[in-house]
């Protein structure tokens, strides 16, 4: 049975990890959200989130966006390539309801699966 946990190893934790992705990313995006990805050598995907207060004013909206993004990643982690991902929320993402945000994330994960080297 496939484990769908979200342990610490699946997260980008330090500024160095984020900088690594920002240097030469593969981009997939919508007007409200962008996912940057870069190949890693760990054998599993990792995720980092950036939801700026400038783009999403209210804390409960930022938390909702992060929660839904983590859940989407957790459910798709075994289908994703071995890459480090940074999800960047842009203006307007708070206007999406939960279903629309989940659908946008699914579309972007599929796009990254197609863009990944060796897929």
Confidence class of residue 114 from pLDDT cuts 50, 70 and 90? confident
Decide: pTM greater than 0.75.
yes
Distance CA 45, CA 15 (A): 17
Position 110 confidence tier, pLDDT thresholds 50, 70, 90: very high
Q: How confident is the model at residue 107 (pLDDT cuts 50, 70, 90)?
A: very high
Q: What percent of the chain has pLDDT over 90?
A: 77
3.30.950.10, 3.40.190.10, 3.30.230.10, 3.30.460.10: CATH of 10-115: 3.30.230.10
Name the 3-class secondary structure at 19.
Answer: helix
* pLDDT tens-digit readout, 51-87: 999 999 999 999 999 999 999 999 999 999 999 999 9
Dihedral sign for Cα atoms in the order 105, 6, 10, 80: negative
Helix (H, G, I), strand (E, B) or coil at 16: helix
> What pLDDT is stored for residue 119 in this prediction?
56
Domains of the chain: which residue ranges? 10-115
Tell me what pLDDT residue 3 has. 80
Per-residue confidence at 1, pLDDT binned at 50, 70, 90? low
**Is 90 exceeded by the pLDDT of residue 88?**
yes
Residue 8, pLDDT > 70, answer yes
Q: Three-state secondary structure along 45-111?
A: CEEEEECCCCCCCCHHHHHHHHHHHHHHHHHHCCCCCCEEEEEEECCCHHHCCHHHHHHHHHHHHHH
């Amino acid at each position: 049975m496939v484990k769908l946990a979200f342990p610490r190893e699946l997260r980008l934790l330090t500024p160095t990890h984020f900088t690594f992705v920002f240097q030469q990313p593969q981009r997939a995006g919508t007007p409200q959200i962008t996912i940057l990805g870069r190949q890693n050598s760990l054998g599993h995907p990792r995720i980092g989130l950036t939801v700026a207060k400038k783009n999403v004013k209210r804390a409960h909206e930022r938390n909702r966006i992060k929660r839904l993004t983590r859940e989407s990643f957790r459910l798709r982690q075994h289908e994703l390539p071995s890459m480090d991902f940074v999800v960047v929320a842009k203006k307007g993402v708070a206007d999406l309801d939960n279903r629309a945000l989940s659908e946008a994330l699914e579309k972007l994960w599929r796009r990254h699966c197609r863009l990944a080297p060796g897929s």
